[in-house]
Structure 1
């Protein structure tokens, strides 16, 4: 087996970690951006109440979903509506049991949570990133301004582009985070993009997480 095949298999095995166990760890939300300063003149935009995810739409009212994709690690994410165009690196669980963050020194870097499915597979893929760092806004600073119906494009290492359409944007308190709703498998290929949000204090950092809900609508 070649080095690239070994790396692919390692990622595949990591992905197969028991999602139920991981979800329990994450029920309190993500602390991945707890290094964010939150001290700039204009804070990150927050989702409007009207942007809440509508989980009651029926399959007949949704765009026809393309066939799910096989395993392939995310390579880059683009959200044109908020000018995001960033490389993606795999991230896992840190020593505190939280989803590990990409290095905060690089403000334009996102992380694919390697214990979730890869974008385009059946299940819920998770991409995370900082809202800011000590120097200023970071990759997902504008995530709360995402609108329903906007598109998120993920380039995968197999050369395919998985295109997701947003159907909800919400902010949840970290101490009351609906893990099953956010991370649960809907039976179709979905994506969650997550960063910090809500109120901010110097002592505790951000008290919430902004979560974008999206579903696969195109493969190219």
Structure 2
């Protein structure tokens, strides 16, 4: 049975960068240049701070003079404490899934996701219900802007599966009930403007709608 996200997904919001194969592949040349020399070998993690929380049907403020980009993503809600969890047991720690729109200003570096770009007020919208799914690795994500599909991808293109993410993260930090793992946004992010209607649709979960307003 679905649960209200406001009751279940109340913990820390952990974002994973570079978790779509197409996005990672598009940056490989950059990662092989100094100072990095190679692609990341562990998940690139960032935190969406509590002030970023937003909901379905709510406004998102476009900062004046900045480019604003939505980010369709699948959110994984932790259902029980996970510490040093084996990959094969990881899904037993999941309560369900939500739709996330991970808003951000354009990022200069995926190795150091900028707080200023990702942690503005209202920059992380979550859908209203936590839903159980049989297979979270075969979902279609679509980003609609004013009724037009601007991004489309599938969770089959994850670099790291959800069990692997939980295992790797819980290796060094405890995940608690209510925490949300934002499993990454696909390549091809687009700019949106005040007045735009932005919808993230994920098969099996429905739609999350936000409206962009001027600062």
TM-score by length of 1: 0.29
* Structure of greater relative contact order (alpha carbons < 8 Å, 6+ residues apart): 2
TM-score by length of 2: 0.30
